[in-house]
Structure 1
């Protein structure tokens, strides 16, 4: 006898039923919980994939109000460096700027500036006090680069500084009064506490919806595994200020993941942790008991994932989201829907099924912010996109995600493919269209918040004919819409 649990439904199997509404799309709130302690201004994460999220994508997501998850196909040091780039990008105050000492030569500081792509460096004395600052302008007409840095820098007695704890208004007033592009932040003991640049402040003004930590740094997450070497990776990520880690595996309802969640909570009780991927209520309860702060749902729905075909394993995504959300109802543990999203309408359905936020990969792959170079094929521009279960990604470091670490390349059993997606330009307009679609959906069902969206809307199951009717039909598209293609 077959042990069939239930009928499973995915995005194309259902539609949301319109309801009486007094809610306009422009008035809805997209603010949501990523974990029990971290809130986002939009319910969007970029996938922890090596063709989707490194620092550029994470910066773009955080500026828009979401969060990027740096993939783990990097050394622990490089992954931490990617997180640091995000944390230092738009804080208004760079809390850990590159510094040099008064013993450096002009050539040494020039090489540092070029290597780090920075235009100014605070100079510290041998006892760690602020001695001055040197900029590219100071170096511009220097002919003898063997000279000591003190012969070209702005000395402390001429350096305009600001005390730590100053308000934004005080900072802007100081910059304007003295016509400065940067300010060194010091404490009462003349110790360096940061560097403020006009560029960072203007970035903050340009992105009012950005999500930041208590120190006004962009939020950033990172993926880790459950196997050997994870302790070192987590330690380095914590040192650079990562906001959340995801124990990212293909099967989150496993002893290794549960033990890793417990270990993280024991050693880093204040660190927010998301675990996954899962698809059942039992898995959600097990991870909740282990101490997770959020769960990620999705076994095999991704466009580049072959787990359901290779292993015969999976669960249709809408039903999986609903089952996990029901199991965690009232616990305060948020649900992240990961995979299977093709349109903004799918995102609205995921939220209505119980998800608090949504992780996307293919939609953001191919943008300027995704890793990799633009390739041309038959006159069209593309960027590469591959599953973390593909041979290439597994060989590069993600084999442990599929519990195949230690296997030689010719022994790996892939659960994903490598491909390419059309080049799409900047991620910002894509995110705008996605959020606009969610807003529209919330307006149709009369929901003003994500919390209402989790509980109020009703679904109707449709046939394949109903889905064909839902798509554009009986017409030739002559001008593509920015939010629809087929």
Structure 2
């Protein structure tokens, strides 16, 4: 073994960078920020996270009608309880001190395959596009059920998912076989933050990659495990993998930046960095249509031995329509997310997401504070 000093690379998050305006600008109403996943094209490049405080069948159908896509958690309350409303009430009523304990308890009930199929059918029956998510450990069991029920998308999600996983299992999850088994249902896989790992995932034939480890508002993986990369760098690296893979194969695999996104500026920076869409949780959890009763919790919170999430209070101050399209009187970028994205793209002269990928970005740690002395001194609300 040769002695070698470990070196550290710089990595950047949303507050560290800025988008450079273009030499040509355009009108926001000429911008079309649509993205395509499988055979579906979505007018709004925003997905709702597969979290129980965010997505239920009703919310999924509502977001479909708004132009986006919601992902239902197949290992959550919706598939453990015939009527999850009472359980959601119990979580909302829990004291802060006992909230994690109660969440662990209610998630100890087994997943029911009959409810898995039923929830997919409910989403479709309400006119929604049925996208669902499972961890690698339960994918083999649940994938055939959701395909038979008519799901449109299947996501394999864990804190970190790789194409190569070493375990004691005689035969672990093989993503290439899953893609073949679920065909024509597109398979999304996450999460990852690394160029090499992303390329290996693409080579299995999957249809999209989710980017981000631990940035979510209700996630504590970075504190508990010490792992993660800030989202701008993670998106840049994974988008580079996508472009390398596309040059070599001619197959384009969309990148979805997942987590840590709160404002229209965060969405714009994600897409400018190379994402084709974003996935958000807490902003949706804070809408009146969300099932979480004004609370939000990470999906690793129920883990019996090593919980990696907390229940946070987000309130329900706005409707889904206001969040996405306004109008709004807030000045902090937390409402009218699509309007903010359109304006950001227009300022760079980009009419499509692909054109926005070509816009410049700079490292700018002072971007949020430069010239803002009065706002900071007066602590102006949004």
Q: Tell me, which stretches of 5 or more residues in structure 1 are unaligned?
A: 91-217, 374-382, 395-408
The one-character-per-residue Cα deviations of 1:301-356 (angstroms, maximum 9, x if unpaired) are: 11121111211111111010011001111240000000111111110000000000
What residue is the counterpart of 2:17 in the other structure?
14
What residue is the counterpart of 1:417 in the other structure?
310
2:52 is aligned with 1:50: yes
CA distance in 1, matches of 2:261, 2:10: 20
Pick one of 219, 230, 244 that aligns with 2:129. Answer: 219
2:281 is aligned with 1:278: no
Alignment RMSD: 2.1
What residue is the counterpart of 1:350 in the other structure?
270
TM-score, with length taken from structure 1: 0.63
CA distance in 1, matches of 2:292, 2:254: 32
2:65 is aligned with 1:63: yes
How far off its partner does 1:224 sit?
Answer: 1.3
More strand by share: 1
Q: Which moved more, 1:334-343 or 1:13-22?
A: 13-22
Q: Is the 8 A contact 2:14 2:231 kept in 1?
A: yes
How far off its partner does 1:5 sit?
Answer: 5.5
How far off its partner does 1:424 sit?
Answer: 2.2
Q: Tell me, which stretches of 5 or more residues in structure 2 are unaligned?
A: 80-110, 167-171, 326-335
How far off its partner does 1:256 sit?
Answer: 4.8
CA distance in 1, matches of 2:9, 2:145: 44
How far off its partner does 1:296 sit?
Answer: 0.3
What residue is the counterpart of 1:434 in the other structure?
337
Q: Is the 8 A contact 2:48 2:54 kept in 1?
A: yes
What residue is the counterpart of 1:23 in the other structure?
26
CA distance in 2, matches of 1:276, 1:424: 30
Q: Is the 8 A contact 2:59 2:289 kept in 1?
A: yes
How far off its partner does 1:27 sit?
Answer: 1.1
What residue is the counterpart of 1:370 in the other structure?
290
Q: Is the 8 A contact 2:18 2:367 kept in 1?
A: no
TM-score, with length taken from structure 2: 0.79
What residue is the counterpart of 1:291 in the other structure?
205
How far off its partner does 1:389 sit?
Answer: 1.5
How far off its partner does 1:39 sit?
Answer: 2.3
Q: Is the 8 A contact 1:71 1:79 kept in 2?
A: no
What residue is the counterpart of 1:83 in the other structure?
120
> Higher Cα Rg: structure 1 or 2?
1
CA distance in 2, matches of 1:359, 1:294: 12
Q: Is the 8 A contact 2:132 2:153 kept in 1?
A: yes
2:362 is aligned with 1:460: yes
Q: Is the 8 A contact 2:212 2:259 kept in 1?
A: yes
SS of the residue corresponding to residue 4 of structure 1 reads: coil
After superposing on structure 2, the runs of 4+ consecutive aligned residues of structure 1 that deviate more than 6 Å are none
How far off its partner does 1:80 sit?
Answer: 2.6
How many residues of Structure 1 are paired with residues of Structure 2 in the alignment? Answer: 322
SS of the residue corresponding to residue 460 of structure 1 reads: strand
SS of the residue corresponding to residue 144 of structure 2 reads: helix
CA distance in 2, matches of 1:246, 1:237: 11
How far off its partner does 1:283 sit?
Answer: 1.1
SS of the residue corresponding to residue 15 of structure 1 reads: strand
What residue is the counterpart of 1:251 in the other structure?
160
How far off its partner does 1:2 sit?
Answer: 4.3
What residue is the counterpart of 1:33 in the other structure?
36
